[in-house]
Every structure is written in C-alpha cells, then in structure tokens.
Amino acid sequence: MSQVPEAAATGSTVMGLPEWTVLAVVAQQPTHGFAVAALTTPDGELGRVWQIPRPVIYRAIGRLAEAGLIEPTGVEPGQGPQRTIYAATEEGCTSVAQWLSTPVGHIRDFRSHLLLKLALLHRRDAGAGMLIRRQREILAPIAAAISAEPPEDSFDAILLAWRRANAAAALAFLDDIAAQLPAPDAGLTAGILHR
C-alpha cells in the first residue's frame, strides 16, 4: 500500500495541511480564499478540527496556483473587495483524491491530519469507510510492535506506556467510528474525483 506523506511534495511544492485543505475545498467547488479562510476559523466547519489563519490560506493559494494545482476562473461579482475564484485543475483533483484516501503514517497525526481528512470527506458526502479500514490495517501492526517492545530503563517505560496508550486509543477510535458507518462504500476515490 503506497502512502502519500502528509507534507508531500507535489511537483516542486511542499504540501502541508494548509495547502491540502485549500486544495480539497477548491476541488469540491470553485471558491475564493476568503470563503476558505471562513471555514478554518475557530467556529468554522473545518476550524473545529484545524484552524488556519487567513494569511496562511492566501499563501497556500499562491503556492497551489504556482504548482498548477488550482487556477483562477473569475472574480466574484458584487460590491466590496474583488475576490478571485479558484478551481482545481485535473492534476489538483487527482492529487487531493489520493491524499484524502491515503491513511496517515503516524499516530501523532490522527488529531490533525486524519480528523481533517474525515471532516473534508464529510463535507463532500464521500464515504470514509475505505480510509478508516486502510488506516486500521496500517495501525494494527504498529500498535502490536509497540505492545511487544520491552522498556530499557525507567524513562523508556514511561515513554512506552504513553505510546501504548496512544496506539490503543487510536485503534479504539477507528473501531468506534467504523461501527457507526453505513455499509462499505464502493469507491472512495471515484466519489472524490467526480465532485
């Protein structure tokens, strides 16, 4: 199973959470930076999971445009400041579909990367079952290895206890949300690409 690192390089652009978030929102529906920034405020739909300041959103838009993953398609009509509308290119749609369907590589990234992916999938009405199943397949052997690891000294025992508790909590989280899902979704990536 191949994995896309969470800070993957797409072309010459390093993609962090701000870039992936902007790309996912713009790939869902063409929009402007102000609207994306509103989603990532503390009380925004995505900001409940990961908050991104407006200047960071606009920098991400610039990087994505330079990389050819989004492109301007017009200006929002109306009074007030003119807001450029961006749409994802075909390459942008393909990249974000792959990212959204790829499990995270580290337990420490569950709180940020995985929850953000789940929130973005929810926004699209795309099933998350495949991602959750693949995430569990990747996590189970990691959790087993952590459980089998013997501590070397007193601080190692403390650190190991922390790692074991996090791995167990992550597995329990995946099992809990998997139990709440409808029947297995037919094709996560296909559903993402056609939005």
Contact (Cβ atoms closer than 8 angstroms) between residue 17 and residue 112: yes
Domain contains 176: no
pLDDT band for position 154 (cuts 50, 70, 90): confident
Domain contains 49: yes
Q: Which domain range does residue 75 map to?
A: 9-104
Number of domains in the chain: 1
pLDDT band for position 147 (cuts 50, 70, 90): confident
Domain contains 14: yes
What lies within 8 Å, CB to CB, of 66 at 6+ separation is 13
Read off the pLDDT of each residue in 177-195 and give the average, rounded to a whole number.
59
pLDDT at 151 over 90: no
Reported pTM: 0.82
CATH number at residue 52: 1.10.10.10
Least confident of 35-44, 48-57, 114-123, 184-193: 184-193
Domain contains 48: yes
Domain contains 88: yes
Task: Concatenate the DSSP letters of all residues of the chain into one string.
Answer: -----TT-EETTEE--HHHHHHHHHHHHS-B-HHHHHHHTSTTSTTTTT----HHHHHHHHHHHHHTTSEEEEEE--SSSS--EEEEE-HHHHHHHHHHHTSPPS-GGGIIIIIHHHHHHHHHTT---HHHHHHHHHHHHHHHHHHHHPPP-SHHHHHHHHHHHHHHHHHHHHHHHHHHHS-SPPS-HHHHHHT-
Residue 192's pLDDT is what?
Answer: 45
pLDDT band for position 4 (cuts 50, 70, 90): very low
Domain contains 20: yes
Domain contains 120: no
Domain contains 188: no
Residue 126's pLDDT is what?
Answer: 85
